[in-house]
Amino acid sequence: MKQVLLVRHGQTELNRAGALRGRLDVALTDRGRWEARQLAKRIAADYRVDAIITSPLQRALQTAAPVGQATGVTPEPHDAVIDVDYGTWAGRSMDAFDSNEQKLLAAWHRDPTVPLPGAEHPQVVQDRACDFLASLARSSEKCVVVVTHDAILQLVLCHVLQIPLSNYQRLVQHTATLNEIRRQRGPWRVTLLDSSWHLELNETGSPTTDGTSRSGVRLIEISAGAIVRARGKILVLQTLAGDWVLPKGKLEAGEAPAAAAVREAWEEAGLRATVVKRLESTRYTRELADRPVEKTVHWFLMEATDTRIQAAAHEFQLAEWVTAEEAASRLRWDEQRKLVTNLVALEAVAI
């Protein structure tokens, strides 16, 4: 089996500014260097890496370096995975564009197969990146890390998933996240997409905080939840307000996210379930009357052998087993619908 880990570099100042980077050779921020260390720890713990290929640009080299140190593999720069050449558009803030340039940029976002004037055509970029992917498929290395840029990742993933080129910008890639594709016999399969849970851990590998804590004027809330399946169906709960949701709740003091997810399934639905794998972490902000609350939810896939369920009466009206398609149509929150649809689309489990 061949594994390729597709990684976006860590944060830069131009990422924070929302400007196109392209071939500009910018360095990582302090946050970006921290992201690279966290990524390195995850890769070293979960994979036996045979080779590391990196874009020759500084931000990718700085991300690849701790991965190399953690795995004992020397990163090798390769021009095939360098960023898109955006020409004179690179590095400029959108606030500085004149009205005509803003129209061109808007048109490009609607249909990126029509490149910005003077920029590299996305088809050319996809061809060079996918030709390189084909060479990796023929190589002797079993597990290869490729550290590159968001557009390169988007274009490669579009090719693997057979998504039209015009839609490549819809595959969002955050800094220092991890994608995994595998190939044994036949085509590549995507087994991990924009995975970021390693960025929710501190330098010791523990959750950054438990429950709810204060950070300046902000509240930080850490929760855990699950897609619980049994006999091909998924558990959904209807709140007293009528919304359908997945089981989820805040971490208790000293509690690990996986243990919290198991506990929530029991408390909310009377269901004993075991963790199969970790899924994504979702992050969002909710506004209270006096301050914002920054919420992070660690999600897990869990399996139950007993399908008997009973909704906690103080919090829910109903608990039901439904198909994945029905769950995606019922669930109130976008991030929960996305979890279910991604799980099906990536064929991570047989639902």
Reported residue count of the chain is 351
Segments of the chain assigned to CATH 3.90.79.10: 207-345
What would the pLDDT profile of 130-143 be if each residue is shown by its tens digit? 999 999 999 999 99
Question: Could you give the CA distance from residue 222 to residue 183 in angstroms, rounded to a whole number?
Answer: 35
What would the pLDDT profile of 262-312 be if each residue is shown by its tens digit? 999 999 999 999 999 888 888 777 655 455 667 889 999 999 988 999 998
> Mean pLDDT throughout 13-42?
85
End-to-end alpha-carbon separation of the chain, Å? 24
Segments of the chain assigned to CATH 3.40.50.1240: 2-199
DSSP 8-class letter at 251? P
Question: Could you give the CA distance from residue 51 to residue 237 in angstroms, rounded to a whole number?
Answer: 45
Q: Are 113 and 119 in contact (CB under 8 A)?
A: no
pLDDT at 35: 93
Which residue would you say has higher pLDDT here, 93 or 40?
40
Q: To the nearest whole number, what is the mean pLDDT of the chain?
A: 85
Does the pLDDT value for residue 215 go beyond 50?
A: no
Does the pLDDT value for residue 128 go beyond 70?
A: yes
What would the pLDDT profile of 89-119 be if each residue is shown by its tens digit? 777 766 667 778 778 877 777 888 877 788 8
Residue 227: closest CA among 189, 294, 277: 277
CATH H superfamily, domain 207-345: Nucleoside Triphosphate Pyrophosphohydrolase (3.90.79.10)
CATH H superfamily, domain 2-199: Phosphoglycerate mutase-like (3.40.50.1240)
- The reported pTM is 0.61
Q: Which neighbouring-strand residues pair with 339? A: none
> Mean pLDDT throughout 233-257?
89
Q: Are 20 and 89 in contact (CB under 8 A)?
A: yes
Residue 78: closest CA among 136, 28, 39, 5: 136
Query: Which CA distances in Å does 319 have to 239, 242, 308?
Result: 9, 12, 10
